[in-house]
């Protein structure tokens, strides 16, 4: 039977999804980050499929989302905090890894990471920081962090007019994001298995961000089977069942 437990891991409200009979066993660990304005519970279908295959899956709530006070800040403030949330996710990912590692619950260092939209952006950015991530999947997320930030700021300006942050703060943000921008340090992938899924009619996260990056990155892979792109035609900014099933298959094959 697949069990779902609520846990605070490093102060982060999370769901842990695992076969109840294997709950105390060392297992491969996968952390899955949700998208903007979403919450941890929304990714239970994929977590269930992965748990059935013998993985321990952690679904954390991101800052300002889910149990972490999504109503404490205004929608505008949360939008402007987007990239700070991504960077906070990356810090908290290490806390999650350390928690299970110290408990002796990670099998042979097999650690995977995936996410949807903002979670996919988190996944790509985390690959620049943590070589211990063995396998990853980016679902409708951008690995071009800096250019996506410029796209998003332009979008905010169009919707909101004057922004409650200065030009200097915006430039500082761009400078900070270069440290996490996978497109600027593709070599950090180091041949690690990486899956992309993206709908080619996505109006929220540009399809070309992930597809053009994939074309660039596969050129440096020694084993091109370790990087794969799934393009879903006529699909917008919503994960399909096809994407969920294929992501589960990817981890089964590569972690």
**C-alpha–C-alpha distance, residues 36 and 16, integer Å:** 20
pLDDT at 161: 76
Mean pLDDT for all residues in the chain:
95
pLDDT at 155: 86
Q: Is the pLDDT of residue 165 over 60?
A: yes
Lowest mean pLDDT of 34-48, 57-71, 184-198, name the range.
57-71
Q: Which two tokens stand for residue 9?
A: 């891991």
How far does CA 94 lie from the centroid of its chain? 13
The residues with which 231 forms a beta bridge, in sequence order, are 198
- What's the mean pLDDT in 183-203? 97
pLDDT at 110: 98
- What's the mean pLDDT in 136-165? 89
CATH superfamily membership of 2-254: Alpha/Beta hydrolase fold, catalytic domain (3.40.50.1820)
- Its pTM surpasses 0.85: yes
Per-residue model confidence as pLDDT tens digits over 88-108:
999 999 999 999 999 999 999
pLDDT at 158: 83
Parallel/antiparallel/unpaired status of strands 194-199 and 135-139: parallel
CB neighbour list of residue 111: distance below 8 Å, 6 or more residues apart: 28, 29, 30, 31, 97, 132, 133, 134
Query: Phi/psi at 66 (nearest 5 deg)?
Result: 55, -130
In the chain, where are the structural domains located? Answer: 2-254
Percentage of the chain lying above the pLDDT 70 cut: 97
- In total, the chain counts a number of residues equal to 255
174 close to 153: Cβ distance less than 8 angstroms: no
pLDDT at 210: 97
pLDDT at 56: 98
């Amino acid at each position: 039977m697949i069990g779902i437990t609520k846990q605070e891991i490093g102060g982060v409200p999370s769901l842990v999804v695992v076969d109840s009979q294997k709950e105390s066993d060392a297992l491969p660990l996968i952390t899955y980050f949700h998208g903007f304005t979403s919450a941890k519970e929304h990714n239970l279908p994929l977590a269930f499929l992965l748990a059935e295959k013998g993985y321990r899956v952690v679904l954390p709530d991101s800052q300002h989302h889910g149990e972490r006070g999504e109503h404490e800040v205004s929608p505008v403030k949360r939008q402007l905090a987007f990239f700070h949330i991504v960077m906070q996710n990356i810090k908290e990912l290490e806390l999650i890894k350390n928690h299970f590692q110290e408990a002796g619950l990670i099998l042979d260092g097999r650690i995977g990471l995936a996410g949807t939209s903002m979670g996919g952006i988190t996944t790509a950015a985390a690959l620049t920081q943590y070589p211990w991530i063995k396998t990853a999947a980016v679902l409708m997320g951008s690995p071009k962090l800096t250019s996506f930030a410029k796209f998003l700021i332009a979008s905010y300006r169009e919707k909101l007019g004057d922004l409650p942050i200065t030009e200097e703060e915006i430039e500082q943000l761009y400078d900070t994001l270069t440290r996490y921008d996978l497109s600027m340090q593709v070599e950090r992938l180091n041949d690690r298995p990486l899956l992309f899924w993206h709908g080619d009619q996505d109006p929220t996260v540009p399809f070309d961000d992930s597809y053009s990056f994939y074309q660039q990155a596969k050129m440096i892979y020694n084993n091109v089977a370790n990087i794969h792109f799934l393009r879903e035609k006529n699909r917008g900014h919503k994960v399909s069942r096809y994407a969920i099933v294929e992501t589960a298959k990817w981890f089964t094959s590569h972690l």
